[in-house]
Amino acid sequence: MPLQRQVGEATIVALSDGEGPFFESRTKAFPTATPDDWRKADETDPASVTAGGGWLLRFRCFAIRLGNRTVIVDTGIGPADAPAASWAPVPGRLPAALDEAGIHPDEVDTVVLTHLHTDHIGWAVQAGKPFFANARYLMQQTEIKAIEEYASPAGPYALDPLRAAGQLDAVDGEHRLAPGLRVIHTPGHTPGHQSVLVESDSGALLVTGDLLVHAVQLVAPETAYTHEMDSDLARTTRVALLRDLAGREGGATLAVPHLGDPFVDL
């Protein structure tokens, strides 16, 4: 049974696409983190440390089921020929994880792609066709622009086939999916990075995307990550949103792609 959480009427299901060591040392990835930050991070998330003191990364997607809606947030590292193959342990196992969760790809109505990085767009397509045949794929307009501007591999691999199939929707800022379920713009990691916020009277849950990628950015939210495209903006976004969520009555939960556990209660 996959790990899941309930927020009001919404069920949020964690889907594992794979795991593997990061390609560079964690001190290089988070150069400003102090020994004290690392000690706190490792206490919070011991499962993300390799035997050799490196960073063990999970690659996770989430499904949100609400009424007759099925929304997928991010699509992992993808099949063997996906662009993440240059650094991540492809093929991912998202199709099996969906099956275990009782979700058929054809019943997914919306796919939210948080950002352009190759470990988030992998199963958007398979063999040049949308993997989720009946879904609208949502990406921020600014992210689509960045993909084109920086000639990201996400363009030819995912955007072009999604566009050709007429399944790509450009979103500008906040976008409501259903009552209590919305996409929010969380820029910094990439220009058009977006997250998904689930809210009910009893609490809130944020599917973060790469708003934070390691527990060190949870225990010390000001910590920059080398692969953020705009570290200052990423920091501002992360600090403000984590503060907002932590202060909410009824509490809040993060659903995270890369930490050891899929859900973190604030």
Contact window for Zn ion (CB under 5 A) among 106-114, 115-123, 219-227, 248-256: 115-123
Nearer to Zn ion, 185 or 189 (CB): 189
Q: Are strands 136-140 and 194-200 parallel, antiparallel or unpaired?
A: unpaired
Nearer to Zn ion, 39 or 227 (CB): 227
Q: Which residues contact 224 (CB under 8 A, 6 or more apart)?
A: 30, 31, 32, 231, 234, 235
CB of 202 to Zn ion, least distance (A): 29
CB of 102 to Zn ion, least distance (A): 26
Q: Give the separation between CA 212 and CA 101, rounded to whole angstroms.
A: 25
By the 8 A CB rule, do 182 and 175 touch?
A: yes
Contact window for Zn ion (CB under 5 A) among 114-122, 133-141, 188-196, 197-205: 114-122
CB of 123 to Zn ion, least distance (A): 14
- Applying CB under 5 A, which of residues 17, 37, 45, 119 lies at the interface with Zn ion? 119
208-237: which residues touch Zn ion (CB under 5 A)? 210
Q: Give the separation between CA 223 and CA 216, rounded to whole angstroms.
A: 7
Binding of residue 17 to Zn ion (CB under 5 A)? no
By the 8 A CB rule, do 167 and 210 touch?
A: no
Q: Position of tokens 């996959």?
A: 2
Nearer to Zn ion, 145 or 227 (CB): 227
Sheet architecture: strand order including 194-200:
175-178, 181-185, 194-200, 203-207, 252-255, 263-265
> How many Cβ atoms from other residues are within 10 Å of residue 85's Cβ?
16
CB of 60 to Zn ion, least distance (A): 9
CB of 18 to Zn ion, least distance (A): 12
Q: Position of tokens 């932590």?
A: 246
Contact window for Zn ion (CB under 5 A) among 82-90, 192-200, 202-210, 247-255: 202-210
CB of 26 to Zn ion, least distance (A): 15
Nearer to Zn ion, 60 or 65 (CB): 60
By the 8 A CB rule, do 78 and 104 touch?
A: no
Give the 3-state secondary structure of residue 99.
Answer: helix
Contact window for Zn ion (CB under 5 A) among 20-28, 112-120, 127-135, 141-149: 112-120
Nearer to Zn ion, 65 or 193 (CB): 193
Interacting residues toward Zn ion by CB under 5 A: 119, 210
